[in-house]
């Protein structure tokens, strides 16, 4: 719990530092926050080592470290146009990667992961209320929209599953804050999230489905009728011209790039227009990554984004992660360390949830008691037996004590032996079974499916045991 609190603090403090404009402009806050992340990750690594549970490294971890690796290569060969900016960006991404590895270790326990996601939902609602009052920490409405895209699926999935008014209220507050903020991309992506969740959560009652659909329709209707004319007058901020200039910058150095964090320095030489303003970002993280680090460094991140789309299909609460990857096509959420940290930590939670079928707020399965005779008491994932399916009608089990065995006399060498004759099994119809000896599995009886609980990544890892579950033999 101490490291969970430390992880939550390491993610929350930088969000509030985003309102500190002087620190953001000087670069002081990101560098010191990155140093704090590295210290926290080192402490988490020591904790994992003492518990004989080292971090599990795979291609997804390598994808996160692709950008700092490209920056280090640029520093070694002198292929950057702003050496100090590249060095700072490498430090920040190394810290983000270390925080990602630490989060994979900390969130590997099911109970801790649930607590973390619940606290994340509470933080999102609080920030939405504060932003609606005009005191939010996000200086950019698009960044607030990207952060809320991560939180909204948590509220919607919980609302559809638990059917409590508080979760419907939370989803409405999150959606309303983004609509009032006026981020066009965020409004469109959140409406898409709601529609996808309606389809994924279609196994639930019509009440939950209709309420979720209502939230999506309110977001789309309000944005179209009240805010779209004002948003359309803003135009695209010459983004099309910036995209063309960025493509020209990429064509000059397609493999190594112009230097991680050196976009602002390298861009003016390829700018196709001049509006008198400084272009510090491409308003497209994917183009900016290719311009700074080269195409080869972006391929691992693209694979990670595609994996998150497939994995969000299994874990609907994480639908906000691929939504932010899509939002990065028209904005730069990953170039804000506070937002990038939240995205990477939620990806770590997705990976931890994938290792076991005991998903956090996942879809409940449907199972029949007779179809899973050995599954009771194995997993903590509930499955509901519903009476509307003819294959799941109430089952009557005959528990009447069997009759005593019948002895058949035999003659052998003058001795009479009695051999027990087994009684044939018989099927007792439901109407003939005595009321005192029948066990009826009624509709909506809770059973469990055969799903493994959270397991440590390696043998010998002293991992906390999930409460209320037993390990499989």
How would DSSP label each residue in 69-132?
Answer: HHHHHHHHHT--S-HHHHHHHHHHHHHHHHHHHHHHHHTTSHHHHHHHHHHHHHHHHHHHHHHH
The yes-or-no verdict on residue 30 having pLDDT over 80 is: no
* Predicted local distance difference test score (pLDDT) of residue 356: 45
Number of separate helices (H) and strands (E) present in the chain: 18, 6
* Predicted local distance difference test score (pLDDT) of residue 203: 54
Lowest mean pLDDT among 316-330, 336-350, 358-372: 358-372
Q: Which of 116 and 391 is assigned the larger pLDDT? A: 116
Residue 156 to residue 158: CA distance in whole angstroms = 5
132 Cα distance to chain centroid: 25
* Predicted local distance difference test score (pLDDT) of residue 116: 94
The yes-or-no verdict on residue 51 having pLDDT over 50 is: yes
Burial class of residue 119 (count of CB atoms within 10 Å of its CB; 0-12, 13-18, 19+):
middle
- CB atoms under 10 Å from CB of 108, counted, come to 27
* Predicted local distance difference test score (pLDDT) of residue 105: 87
Decide: helix, strand or coil at residue 152.
helix
Q: How confident is residue 234, by pLDDT bands cut at 50, 70 and 90?
A: low
Per-residue pLDDT, averaged over 439-451, amounts to 36
* Predicted local distance difference test score (pLDDT) of residue 342: 95
Helix 184-200, helix 320-327: angle, nearest 10: 150
pTM for the whole structure: 0.73
Q: Which of 325 and 209 is assigned the larger pLDDT? A: 325
* Predicted local distance difference test score (pLDDT) of residue 195: 81
| Distances from the Cα of 135 to the Cα of 126, 127, 132, 180, angstroms | 11, 9, 8, 13
The yes-or-no verdict on residue 267 having pLDDT over 50 is: yes
Q: Which of 161 and 460 is assigned the larger pLDDT? A: 161
User: Cα–Cα–Cα angle for 234, 240, 246, nearest 5°?
Assistant: 130
Q: 23-32, 391-400, 404-413, 442-451: which has the highest mean pLDDT?
A: 23-32
> Which residues, listed in sequence order, are joined to residue 447 by a DSSP beta bridge?
383
- Token output for 432: 């003939």
Burial class of residue 203 (count of CB atoms within 10 Å of its CB; 0-12, 13-18, 19+):
middle
Per-residue pLDDT, averaged over 213-229, amounts to 63
Residue 163 to residue 165: CA distance in whole angstroms = 7
Q: How confident is residue 54, by pLDDT bands cut at 50, 70 and 90?
A: low
Question: Could you tell me if 469 and 380 are in contact, meaning their C-beta atoms sit under 8 angstroms apart?
Answer: yes
Q: Which of 174 and 216 is assigned the larger pLDDT? A: 174
The yes-or-no verdict on residue 122 having pLDDT over 80 is: yes
Lowest mean pLDDT among 129-133, 257-261, 287-291, 463-467: 463-467
Alpha helices in 295-400 (DSSP H): 295-314, 320-327, 337-354
Decide: helix, strand or coil at residue 406.
strand
Q: 209-223, 362-376, 380-394, 412-426: which has the highest mean pLDDT?
A: 209-223
Lowest mean pLDDT among 28-37, 85-94, 196-205, 391-400: 391-400
* Predicted local distance difference test score (pLDDT) of residue 226: 58
- CB atoms under 10 Å from CB of 264, counted, come to 14
Please give the share of the chain, as a percent, with pLDDT higher than 90. 34
Question: Could you tell me if 221 and 206 are in contact, meaning their C-beta atoms sit under 8 angstroms apart?
Answer: no
Q: How confident is residue 341, by pLDDT bands cut at 50, 70 and 90?
A: very high
**Mean predicted lDDT score pLDDT of the chain:** 74
Lowest mean pLDDT among 21-30, 122-131, 317-326: 21-30
Question: Could you tell me if 220 and 226 are in contact, meaning their C-beta atoms sit under 8 angstroms apart?
Answer: no
Q: How confident is residue 361, by pLDDT bands cut at 50, 70 and 90?
A: very low
Q: How confident is residue 65, by pLDDT bands cut at 50, 70 and 90?
A: very high
Residue 341 to residue 146: CA distance in whole angstroms = 13
* Predicted local distance difference test score (pLDDT) of residue 48: 80
Residue 454 to residue 457: CA distance in whole angstroms = 9
* Predicted local distance difference test score (pLDDT) of residue 333: 92
Residue 443 to residue 446: CA distance in whole angstroms = 9
The yes-or-no verdict on residue 469 having pLDDT over 60 is: no
Per-residue pLDDT, averaged over 2-29, amounts to 74
* Predicted local distance difference test score (pLDDT) of residue 219: 61
């Amino acid at each position: 719990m101490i490291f969970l609190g430390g992880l939550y603090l390491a993610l929350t403090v930088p969000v509030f530092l985003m309102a500190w404009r002087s620190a953001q402009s000087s670069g002081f806050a990101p560098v010191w926050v990155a140093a704090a992340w590295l210290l926290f990750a080192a402490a988490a690594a020591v904790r994992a080592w003492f518990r004989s549970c080292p971090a599990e490294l795979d291609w997804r971890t390598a994808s996160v470290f692709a950008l700092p690796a490209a920056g280090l290569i640029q520093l070694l060969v002198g292929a950057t146009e702003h050496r100090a900016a590249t060095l700072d960006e490498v430090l920040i991404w190394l810290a983000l990667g270390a925080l990602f590895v630490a989060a994979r270790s900390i969130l590997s326990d099911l109970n801790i992961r649930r607590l973390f996601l619940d606290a994340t939902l509470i933080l999102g609602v609080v920030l939405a209320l504060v932003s609606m009052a005009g005191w939010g920490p996000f200086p950019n409405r698009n960044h607030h929209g990207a952060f809320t895209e991560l939180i909204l699926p948590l509220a919607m999935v919980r609302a559809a599953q638990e059917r409590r008014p508080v979760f419907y209220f939370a989803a409405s507050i999150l959606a309303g804050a983004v609509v009032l903020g006026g981020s066009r991309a965020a409004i469109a992506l959140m409406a898409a999230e709601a529609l996808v969740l309606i389809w994924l959560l279609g196994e639930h009652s019509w009440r939950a489905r209709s309420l979720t659909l209502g939230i999506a329709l309110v977001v789309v209707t309000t944005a179209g009728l009240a805010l779209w004319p004002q948003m359309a007058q803003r135009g695209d901020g010459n983004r099309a011209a910036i995209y063309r200039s960025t493509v020209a910058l990429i064509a000059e150095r397609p493999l190594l790039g112009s230097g991680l964090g050196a976009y602002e320095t390298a861009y003016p030489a390829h700018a196709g227009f001049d509006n008198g303003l400084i272009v510090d970002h491409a308003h497209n993280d994917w183009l900016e990554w290719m311009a700074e680090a080269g195409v080869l460094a972006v391929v691992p991140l693209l694979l990670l984004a595609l994996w998150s789309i497939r994995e969000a299909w299994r874990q609907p609460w994480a639908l906000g992660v691929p939504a932010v990857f899509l939002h990065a096509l028209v904005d730069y959420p990953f170039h804000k360390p506070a937002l990038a940290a939240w995205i990477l930590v939620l990806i770590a939670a997705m990976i931890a949830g994938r290792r076991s079928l005991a998903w956090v707020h996942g879809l409940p399965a449907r199972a029949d008691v007779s179809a899973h005779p050995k599954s009771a008491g194995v997993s903590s994932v509930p499955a509901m037996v519903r009476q509307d399916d003819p294959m799941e009608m109430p089952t009557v089990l005959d528990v009447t004590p069997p009759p005593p065995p019948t002895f058949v006399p035999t003659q052998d060498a003058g001795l009479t032996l009695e051999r027990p004759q087994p009684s044939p099994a018989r099927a007792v119809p439901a109407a003939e079974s005595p009321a005192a000896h029948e066990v009826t599995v009624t509709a909506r009886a809770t059973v469990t499916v055969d799903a493994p609980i959270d397991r440590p990544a390696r043998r010998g890892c002293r991992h906390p045991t999930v409460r209320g579950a037993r390990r499989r033999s």
